[in-house]
Structure formats: structure tokens, C-alpha cells
Amino acid sequence: METPNHLIIEFMLQPLEGRHYLALVLAMSQVQIDAIPKGKFKPAKIQSGDPTFITFDIETTDLIRSGQMPQITQIAASEVKSGSTFNQYVFPTRPVALDAKRKTGICVNSEGYMTVHGEHGNNVDIQKAVENFCGWLNKFPNAVLIAHNGRRFDLPVLLSCLLAIDKTNEFFKCCVSMIDSLTNFRKLYPKLSHKQEDLVSKLLGISYDAHNATADVESLKKFVQRTGMSSTELLQHNYSPVDVHNSVIFNPEKAKYLPSLTHLVSLRICKLTTAENIAGCLIANKNEIAVIALSGEVVPSAFTLTTNLSRHSGIVLDLNLFSAFPVAILIIFSDRSLNT
């Protein structure tokens, strides 16, 4: 495919809190816009039969820090109706953080053995753990995993792990949908604390070891049963595991470009969500991009700029053209990245 002769960048101005910000629309021929799909988190439809609800939890070597995913040290699950359970400790190849050791009791000792509260536990490597988990899930038709605060932690960590060991397709075959119970419980109990421990203590009158995945899934199962929510109500906020998979790929890439837009956020020219959307739009093109913010006074309603790409390795623009604009966002594409 030949390089497009022109790149058209259109800036449309919209009001925001009495000022203006730039919402950009890129019009580029012969460029794949959705090269990296976003996680849309739309409700997933179960094609046939009834869902099987399974509470799910993991323990890990650490929290998610600066986009770095921790490793899984324990996987636990419990089928809500039958009470069938799954529990597997996972030997990590990365050190367990001190706080995680203190809370979960999981560590690898000086002799290289994994222990749980000082006792040698039955553990396997992550590949075998995932195989065992998928094998257990396959017992249930239309398995739907329920994890509290799962969308922010358990589910992206799980999908990141599956990506790393090339097991996503195997998992997609045995899990049709996922639910973050935090969303459901916020609507059901708007005036209560929504930490799982607090909800269980307040409404079930029990306490449990919140840093043991087996205790977590059992207490979450009891709480789901206590709510009496129907399948339809539970599935109201479900989404496909493919959505989580896509977000795990998309979000780190988007984060690479977001710092270029933080100046616009600090000047209150656009909100963080707008900057995130722009960054997401940019990385969807999979091109080398630079974003520059300039200051000025006069605001036009809109303009379109056409630049010839044929003689440049990148677009060279006369910045004086933009001196009258309060903010000009220049998208600079590498000529090489437009060739296929």
C-alpha cells in the first residue's frame, strides 16, 4: 500500500466551563483506525441456556503499581448453587512484596519452597494452575465469574496472566461473562460501605480472613445468596472476558501517550477523561505521534490543515501558523509508519 499523499487534521472547538478545548477528528485514508481494540465493557449475551454464577478471587505478589501487573499466588472459586469449590496455590517467579506476605501469609522461603503461614502448601506453576482452573470451569455451562472490585484488579490481573502464557483462548471457551459485584452492590446498598468485609459484617454478621482467596469467595457467595438478586439483575452489569482482554492490551499503550496531554489538563483546557480519549484515539492508529500544546488568544470555530507527506520523514509545520490559537494540538506521524 502506498503512503497517503495528504494527512488531514481537523480541530473542532467545543465549550467547556466558559473556555474552549479542542476535540480532534483525524481523517486519514488507508490507515487502520482500530488496530488495537478498546475494551468496551458492554453487556455480554448468553447464547443459550442459563448462566452458572461462580464467585472468584485471587491473591497476588503485590498490587498493580504503575501499570505493572503482579503475579498470581492463589486462585479460588465457588459455584453459587452447588457449593462446588476450586482452590490452587501458584508458585510465583517474582518476589512476594512484604505487605502481601504479611496479609496473605504466602511467601517463598530461603530454600525456594512456597509456604502459606509457614506451612508447605500444594502449589503448581501458573500454566498448570490455569489448566486446572479451566478444567474445573468446564464442568459448568455458561460460567459467569463474579469478583468484588474485579474490574479494577482481579480480572485484569487474570487476563494479563493468561496473555503472558498464551492461554486466553482456552479461558474464553470456559468463561462466557464476568461481573464486578461492586457495581451491583453500590446500587443495591447506596448508603453502606462497599468493601466486601464491611458488607459481610454489616448484613451477614460474620467476619472472615479477607486475604485468603478461599474465604473471600465463600463470603462473597453467601452475600450474593443473601441479596436474593435474580440472574437478570446480576447480569445487568456483566461484560465479556474479551473486553477485559482488550483493555489489558489497550490501556498500557494509551498510557504511553497520556503524559503528552497532561499540560492541557493542568490548564483546565480539557478534562482528564477527554485527554484519555484523545490518547486512546492516537494509539488506535499505531503511528509514531507527538503532541504539542501552544498558547495564544484568538479562537476560531474550526479549521482544517492539509500537509504533504511525500518529502518528509515526519510532518514539518510552521508553528507561527498556530500563534493565534489558545491550544493547538499537532499530530506528527512518522512517514515510515504509514507504509505497509
302 in the same domain as 183: no
- Check whether residue 26 and residue 70 sit in a common domain: no
CATH number of the domain enclosing 66: 3.30.420.10
Is 198 part of any domain?
Answer: yes
Q: Helix, strand, coil % (nearest 5) of the chain?
A: 35, 20, 45
User: For the chain, how many structural domains are there in total?
Assistant: 2
User: Are residues 201 and 64 part of one domain?
Assistant: yes
**Is 244 inside a domain boundary?**
no
* pLDDT for the residue numbered 249: 83
Nearest to 149, CA basis, from 63, 49, 90, 46: 63
Residue 204 lies in a domain: yes
pLDDT of residue 271: 74
Using a 10 angstrom Cβ sphere, with 0-12 exposed, 13-18 middle and 19 or more buried, the burial of residue 238 is: buried
Q: Is residue 1 part of a domain?
A: no
Same domain, yes or no, for 83 and 184? yes
Q: Where are the alpha helices (H) located in 53-148, listed in sequence order?
A: 98-104, 126-137
pLDDT at position 8 is 36
Q: Which of 196, 212, 239 is the last residue of a domain?
A: 239
Confidence at residue 273, expressed as pLDDT on a 0 to 100 scale: 76
For residue 104, being part of any structural domain is answered with yes
For residue 33, the model assigns a pLDDT of 33
- Cα-based torsion angle of the residue sequence 44, 227, 195, 198 in order, rounded to the nearest 10 degrees: -170
- Do 143 and 276 reside in the same domain of the chain? no
Question: Do 16 and 78 reside in the same domain of the chain?
Answer: no
Residue labelled with grid coordinates 445487568 = 236
Q: Which domain holds residue 185?
A: 52-239
Considering 180, 213, 239, which residue would you say is the last residue of a domain?
Answer: 239
Q: Residues of the chain whose pLDDT is less than 50?
A: 1-36, 285-340
Give the cell for residue 304. 482544517
Interacting residues of 307 by C-beta distance below 8 A, sequence separation 6+: 6, 7, 9, 315, 317
> Do 145 and 28 fall into the same domain?
no
Is 18 a domain residue?
A: yes
Alpha carbon distance 293, 96 (integer Å):
42
Say if 246 falls within a structural domain.
no
195 and 135 in a common domain:
yes
pLDDT tens, residue by residue, 130-147: 999 999 999 999 999 999
Instruction: Tell whether 147 and 172 lie within a shared domain.
Output: yes
* Residues 228 and 264 reside in one and the same domain: no
pLDDT digits (tens, 9 = 90+) for 290-340: 333 333 333 333 333 333 333 333 333 333 333 333 333 444 333 333 333
Same-domain pairing of 217 and 108: yes
Q: What is the 3-state secondary structure (H, E, C) of 146-159?
A: EECCCCCCHHHHHH
Instruction: Please identify which residue in the block is written with the cell numbers 503524559.
Output: 259
**Does one domain contain both 229 and 276?**
no
End position of a domain, from candidates 205, 239, 273:
239
Compute the radius of gyration of the chain from its Cα atoms.
24
Type of residue at 292? I
Q: Is 67 contained in some domain?
A: yes
Among the residues of the chain, which ranges form H helices?
Answer: 98-104, 126-137, 154-164, 168-174, 181-188, 196-204, 213-227, 231-234, 241-257, 262-266, 272-283
Contact of 179 with 151, CB cutoff 8 Å = no
Q: What is the pLDDT of residue 174?
A: 96
